[in-house]
Amino acid sequence: MLSLCKSWFPRGSGRQFEVPTRWGSQGRINLIGTLALNAQGEHLEVRELTASCTQDAVIAYLDTLAAQSEAEQRRLGKPRLTVVVLDNASFHRGQAVRAREPVWAEKGMLLRYLPPYSPMLNRIETTWRLLKGFLMPRRCYNTVAELRAALLVALNALGATII
């Protein structure tokens, strides 16, 4: 891990200062997740994304949640409402996501949005902060596999389900 320090770089040298990385753009892991609240308490469900979060990834994830909601309704034999609360990220509010809302509503899943600029109302942000700030060892990982292993240990500590 790089230590915190002050440094300077000569202006006008025509070069841009770059911090070397070990794996380049392949060295990150993106998650999409939900914090399910029910009578038993809170439960974290996550999915690892193969790339950055996009509308397509959000739609695929919400399709999975809608299918789970529909299966739960069939199991119980009665209607059950699932409400998914989203923040105002562009990939949550895009036209493709809005077009799928009626399909999800038929399966018993509704989307609701937080007010703009209110991350303090988004309960999963606290979970992400706990995951990244306390449960993951603060160090540079030699490989993405090491990073993924540490992530899985941290998710296990939170009792998360990978879907």
40 phi, psi to nearest 5 deg: -85, -10
The alpha carbon of residue 23 and the mean position of all alpha carbons in its chain are separated, in whole angstroms, by 22
Task: Give the pLDDT score at 80.
Answer: 82
Count of C-beta atoms within a 10 Å radius of residue 34: 21
In order of their start, the domains of the chain are 28-162 (3.30.420)
Mean pLDDT of all residues belonging to the chain: 86
d(CA 128, CA 135): 10
62-118 residue pLDDT tens:
999 999 989 888 888 888 889 999 998 899 999 999 999 999 999 999 999 999 888
Task: Give the pLDDT score at 27.
Answer: 72
Give the CA distances from residue 114 to residues 68, 89, 90, 150, in Å, rounded to whole numbers and listed in that order: 23, 10, 13, 31
pTM exceeds cut of 0.75: yes
Task: Give the pLDDT score at 1.
Answer: 46
3-state secondary structure of 85: strand
Task: Give the pLDDT score at 94.
Answer: 92
Task: Give the pLDDT score at 14.
Answer: 66
Task: Give the pLDDT score at 19.
Answer: 65
Inter-residue contact 135 to 154 (CB < 8 Å): yes
